[in-house]
Amino acid sequence: MTTDDHELKDLYQEVIIEHSKNPRNFRAVQNATHSAEGYNPLCGDQLTLTLKLSNNVIEEIGFIGDGCAISKASASLMTSALKGKRPEDALTLFTAVRTLLTCGPSAKVTPDEVGKLAVLSGVSEFPMRVKCATLAWHTMKNALEGGNVPGGKGNPASTEES
Ligand code: ZN
């Protein structure tokens, strides 16, 4: 392991711990236009994502639920990153993050694309936790694509690839 790897690992742990202890956007969005629920049976992580789309921009986004540190930190990082973005950019980011999580830091994803989310690449070292980290992203994708009625029970997001 090189020094860079160690630094990345420290940063990864620091950011994950900080975000899980103090999650950003941990709330239900009022007057949400889109929502979805996600559940990761492997770990027991569950979350409800709500967002408000206005003029094709994600104006507000929040999540509630309970899960492990990685699932919370990932949802926290995701909601922070997506606020103010267009849905199509959010879905591009989804693909980039999924690549990062499954392929690790060597993934061909430019730092510009993922920004701070690059810390999530540390999760790739722990294959058991990858689904914890992707849960929020799958749920976000479902919310954007499904546009579930707020408060309604849409199809729960699955962390299984179909
Ligand atoms: Zn988990």
Domain ranges of the chain: 3-148
**How many percent of the chain have pLDDT more than 70?**
85
| Cα(40) to centroid(ligand 1), Å | 7
Ion ligand 1: residues, Cβ under 5 Å: 43, 45, 68, 71, 132
pLDDT at 162: 44
- Which residue, chain included where needed, has tokens 């889109």? 34
**Global confidence as pTM:** 0.85
| Cα(61) to centroid(ligand 1), Å | 21
Mean pLDDT across 36-51: 97
* Cα–Cα distance, 74 to 120 (Å, whole number): 7
The pLDDT tens digits for 109-123 are 776 778 888 888 888
* Cα–Cα distance, 97 to 18 (Å, whole number): 19
**In the CATH hierarchy, which fold is given to the domain comprising 3-148?**
Sufe protein. Chain: A (3.90.1010)
The pLDDT tens digits for 8-40 are 677 788 899 999 999 999 999 999 999 999 999
Residue 152 pLDDT > 50: no
| Cα(128) to centroid(ligand 1), Å | 9
| Cα(66) to centroid(ligand 1), Å | 9
| Cα(55) to centroid(ligand 1), Å | 34
SS3 77: helix
Whether the CB-CB separation of 53 and 117 falls below 8 Å is answered with no
Instruction: Give the mean pLDDT of the chain.
Output: 86
Residue 9: burial class (beta carbons within 10 Å; 0-12, 13-18, 19+): middle
pLDDT at 8: 62
